[in-house]
Amino acid sequence: MKKIFNFSPGPASLPYEVLKKAQNEFTNWHNLNISVMEISHRNNEFIKLMKDIKNNLRELMNIPFEYEILFCQGGARTQFSAIPMNLLYYDETADYANIGHWSNQAIKEAKKYCKPNIINPVRKKNGIYYIEKIENWNLNDNTKYIHYCPNETIEGIAINEEPKLKNKIVVADLSSSILTKEINIKNYGMIYASVQKNIGPAGLTIIIIKKDLIINDIKKKRKELPSVLDYQIILKYNSMFNTPPTFSLYLSGLVLKWLKKKGGVKYIGKINKKKAELLYSTIDSSDFYINKISNNNRSITNIVFHLKNPKKENLFLKKAQENGLMYLKGHKMIGGIRASIYNAMPIEGVKKLINFMNDFEKSYL
């Protein structure tokens, strides 16, 4: 089989070793003579698998015990409504930073439940986009939490500094950045992510939430909050109030073990930084490719760029594909090229893309 590199933004590339292991035990999981997809989530083997996933995630992300880990379904988008419904009572509201498409989607949904205080920290200077430092954001004293998305998957713009906000609950959508670099969980009240970029196949959403944010008091809860979205109920039922997405959990579990074996988040964070540096320096050192985001706010996982002559972009994509460099087309809102280089993208893939970019530039200048 021809070796390809998959730059898809999500669902995204998974480690080959993990896919091979899943293939090997596809019809006979843990010597039970059936597939993991056919087993009850109440089975002891499966319950052990869920525990292992939690423990491995706790270890990899250094999650303190005052935080709970919940497994849900419905993707990150479901959390756009579940968060205000769980965290805000009728008369309460929250700050929402708008830095790109996904933060804006979260705002649209939050508006159904509250009147969010919207912060627009994206600025443009000399044609270059940058984001105002978090400490300068115009936060409202009377809001319950601040929601933001540190890595905007479509635009490739990111907030790389950690949010160090005293007296404020920070809620972050890490769908395209979870486990890609070390973070200090204590800076957040809640983190959530759908898994299909860095952890596993679509279906599972991970929530890491400070215990005291899970509302136990019925009087403080919105009466229309659906049980399947109620963090207290999800916790009470050990993330099995509805049947969990068993295959996505299983494969995510294998990816977490793979990451641990590789050296954990510290190790992969260094590689991710290196991969992004190599790619951005190729873009910056050429007059053929352009990226208009300031160095501090460039995503390390979604590298978005354009060709100076956009008419050549289709040819670039066609030739890239012929060279085994797949799914590089930018999102239709932005156009151009987007190289999504999550944890499973080896540095060889990035180097191959860089060689291709250099060759393409020479041929079509």
Given 14, 67, 68, 75, the residue binding ligand PMP (CB under 6 A):
75
Q: Is 20 a catalytic residue?
A: no
Given 77, 181, 186, 319, the residue binding ligand PMP (CB under 6 A):
77
Q: Which is nearer to ligand PMP, 143 or 301 (CB)?
A: 301
Q: Catalytic: which of 54, 168, 197, 329?
A: 197
In whole angstroms, the minimum distance from the beta carbon of 102 to ligand PMP comes to 4
Residues in binding contact with ligand PMP, number by CB under 6 A: 11
Q: Is 173 a catalytic residue?
A: yes
| Span interacting with ligand PMP, options 134-142, 172-180, 262-270, 279-287, rule CB under 6 A | 172-180
| Span interacting with ligand PMP, options 39-47, 73-81, 303-311, 322-330, rule CB under 6 A | 73-81
76 near ligand PMP, judged by CB under 6 A: yes
Given 86, 93, 143, 175, the residue binding ligand PMP (CB under 6 A):
175
Interface pattern 93-132 for ligand PMP (x via CB under 6 A): ---------x------------------------------
- Within 182-211, the residues that bind ligand PMP by CB under 6 A are 194
Which single residue brings its beta carbon nearest to ligand PMP?
75
| Span interacting with ligand PMP, options 69-77, 121-129, 273-281, 353-361, rule CB under 6 A | 69-77
Q: For every residue of the chain, which 3-state class applies, written as one string? A: CCCCEECCCCCCCCCHHHHHHHHHCCCCHHHCCCCHHHCCCCCHHHHHHHHHHHHHHHHHHCCCCCEEEEEECCHHHHHHHHHHHHHCCCCCCCEEECCCHHHHHHHHHHCCCCCCEEECCEEEECCEEEECCHHHCCCCCCCCEEEECCEECCCCEECCCCCCCCCCEEEEECCCCCCCCCCCHHHCCEEEEECCCCCCCCCCEEEEEEHHHCCCCHHHCCCCCCHHHCHHHHHHCCCCCCCCCHHHHHHHHHHHHHHHHHCHHHHHHHHHHHHHHHHHHHHHCCCCEECCECHHHECCCEEEEEECCHHHHHHHHHHHHHCCEECCECCCCCCCEEEECCCCCCHHHHHHHHHHHHHHHHHHC
Q: Which is nearer to ligand PMP, 50 or 99 (CB)?
A: 99
Which residues are annotated as catalytic? 102, 173, 197
Interface with ligand PMP (CB under 6 A)? 10, 75-77, 102, 149, 153, 173, 175-176, 194
